[in-house]
Structure 1
């Protein structure tokens, strides 16, 4: 049976060479037939609302069985964390990968109440044995400082600060492929 991966994309346009599209294509190419990558189009990505994304995730999770790997890119990562801290999910989560995810509510420029995690949100998360954090030093969309906020919340996480990948990781993340396969 193929291993399932749920990938929640970034905010913004998701067309050819936009948003998370190149990263999704990279994953499909690199992971091959051993994995089943589920990458739904989230509602109104150019004007995202947490309530709509939450409803979509509820629908998706209701159809999943067995064990799943979760990947969230940018807003997709912060939405996944908020969702997991508020809702009960049916499938067991083997790993969570957060890529260039904003940590809402910490820094002055990153205030959006609908996406902000509650205090002590980690105590409400389901058991996730493997957590990985990725961010690029030269990210001009979400500053690299956000990975440090997450690393403080998840001291057990494997944290990878990359040199020159920007925000969209259009050329992929080789470490991500290695980490998924391990």
Structure 2
């Protein structure tokens, strides 16, 4: 079983504590590759996700934070090749589109995630980076997702990683 943690935009250093806490709580390796901050294109992020996927076993769990979470979800929607991940645990995921942030990263119309891929969405009400209502938009688009609303924790999920680790752990055991 392999776990990849996809950090947020410009967040490779800032997200290290979250990946480290998952390692500590689950007592398993968690790989957090460095995604290029100078190239925020889907091609660059999808390419790195593909390289990471191809270097690991077919038993893959993806945890993602912020922009990285949205890139993992978008990649599943737009051409993921090979075996699907065992599940996704996404934190503070931006919603791109008319009801969220305007950008070229919007999920395609009519996208549904395969019922074979468990999805957990976590967001903290006091997140000052990604508005909390983005979670509501994702929940309506992805009705099979398990949604975790946290009262506090901010954008970096301070004090909330136990709940995240529980969901990741449910996918690896």
The answer for the alignment partner of 2:108 in structure 1 is 118
- Displacement of 1:48: 2.2
Match status 1:90 vs 2:78: no
| Aligned counterpart for 2:23 among listed residues 5, 10, 28 | 28
Structure 1 residues without counterparts, runs of 5 or longer: none
- Evaluate the alpha carbon distance shift between residue 154 and residue 107 of structure 1 in structure 2; reply closer, same or farther with a 3 A threshold: closer
1:173: how far off? 1.6
Matched, 1:163 2:151: yes
TM-score (norm 1): 0.84
Q: CA RMSD in A?
A: 1.8
Q: Structure 1 residues 127 and 65 mapped into 2: Cα distance closer, same or farther (>3 Å)? A: farther
| C-alpha contact (below 8 Å) 2:66/2:92 kept by paired residues | yes
Alignment-derived partner of residue 65 in structure 2: 73
Give, in whole Å, the separation in 2 of the partners of 1:78 and 1:55.
15
Count matched residues: 170
Instruction: Tell me how far 1:172 sits from its aligned partner.
Output: 4.5
CA distance in 2, matches of 1:69, 1:55: 17
1:107 Cα deviation after fit: 3.1
Contact kept, 8 Å, 1:151 with 1:159, in 2: the verdict is: yes
Contact 1:84 1:126 in 2 (8 A): no
Q: Verify: 1:176 aligned to 2:169, yes or no.
A: no
Bigger shift: residues 85-94 or 20-29: 85-94
Give the TM-score normalised by the residue count of structure 2: 0.88
